[in-house]
Structure 1
Amino acid sequence: MKIYTLKTVQRLPITLEEAWLFFSDPKNLNIITPDYMGFKTLSGDDRAMFPGQVIQYTVTPVLGIPMKWVTEITHVIDKRYFVDEQRFGPYSFWHHKHFFREIPGGVEMEDIVDYKLPLGIIGQIVHPFLVQPKLKEIFDYRQKKLTELFGTYK
């Protein structure tokens, strides 16, 4: 069983409070996801994040084929971190940790995603040229969009 990890760090010139308000609102995930992903929240985005919250989405990750994705917010420590875990969707396993830390002149955000692909050896074969680049592209888009929204950390 192969578990992959994606880690990103971004600094923004906003307060910890501003960062937390933005990221703890599930509706804002639509803003920082590329349009071509066809990402749409179906339910569970009617309040700020809390442990046990289930959020349903549709997403079109491959060939424009819509897929349902269901995540649960499993852990939340106010202004420090939250964790979302896939319950149903494209991965065999998805565990996404979001950490927030106040730094001089802004906030540092760290994402750590541990994931496993379905289809055994086939998933492992397609990972380096299909899944890994696509995830990197999505998180690169997210960083670019956040910089557009909040500015560049200096």
Structure 2
Amino acid sequence: MKEYKLEGIAMPTPSMEDYIEKIYSLIETKGYARVSDIADELFVHPSSVTKMVQKLDKDEYLIYEKYRGLILTPKGTQMGKRLLERHALLESFLSIIGVDPSHIYHDVEGIEHHLSWNSIDRIGDVVQFFENHPDALKTLKEMDPTKPDTKE
């Protein structure tokens, strides 16, 4: 499995990110994450989850004990929170720029692993700008070519 590095620090692969994000989300909503829950959420076989969970344990994102479950380490919790925030931010951004709501989740899944954290931060600045400037957001929405022209 290819390791991604950022300034000498091993970063999780896109697949690892998907698992960390889903585990963090499950723990936030249910209080726990079992292998079967993760498999159901990611539409993968439980044996695939077990294999990935063992890798995430080795890389210190979580602590896994067979038949007893798993818990995120501080490193895993921090990464999971950041990944979930990235996902929500990208959903907000796509909504702001007028992407059809039925496409947003799929589009975010397609792009989230391909953007640098610097790009994510800049997108965050854009989202914050439009949240703080509703008139600018209104102007942007008026530019949407898919909306009928209501001006006379």
Smaller-chain TM-score range? under 0.3
Q: Which of the two has greater helix per residue?
A: 2
Q: Which of the two has greater strand per residue?
A: 1
